[in-house]
Amino acid sequence: MSVVAIGSTPTIDSMRLLGFEVVMVPEKLSESVEEEVISRVVESRVVIIEEPVYSQVSGKLRRLFTFLREPPLLVVVPSMKQPSTRRLEELYQLLSYAVGVRLRWAKKEE
């Protein structure tokens, strides 16, 4: 099973200790680097990708994943410069679309 970590900050380099193959990319991806990132994602079984990189390739990945029989497990993590991700918002929108209504967030009562 191939596991890959893709990012643009030095913090992603620590994933080597967990056995991930690390792919460092620039903050702003060129067309050729985008294609390289996409091919690495498709060839892998597990991918940890930083939010800034994911946001640049997410549209292409989403279209490509519809054709894959077994898409990889994709984990979007925040980068050092951006402490949160938009992935939860994306999942909320996909789930709302799947059930056909706009869902509301349930507030946790303490």
Q: In a structure prediction context, what are the per-residue pLDDT tens digits for the chain, which is 110 residues long?
A: 589 999 988 888 888 888 889 999 998 999 999 999 999 999 999 999 998 899 899 889 989 988 888 999 998 888 776 666 676 677 777 777 788 877 776 666 65
CA–CA distance, 2 with 8 (Å, rounded to integer): 20
Pick one of 3.90.76.10, 3.40.50.10580, 3.40.1380.20, 1.10.3470.10 as the CATH number of 3-99: 3.40.50.10580
Does the global pTM surpass 0.85? Answer: no
Determine contact, residues 25/6, Cβ cutoff 8 Å: yes
Domain-wise residue ranges, the chain: 3-99
Determine contact, residues 77/48, Cβ cutoff 8 Å: yes
Predicted pLDDT at 99:
81
SS3 75: strand
Predicted pLDDT at 96:
78
Determine contact, residues 38/48, Cβ cutoff 8 Å: no
Predicted pLDDT at 41:
92
Residue 27 CB contacts under 8 Å (≥ 6 apart), including other chains: 8, 52
Alpha helices in 16-72 (DSSP H): 31-43, 51-65
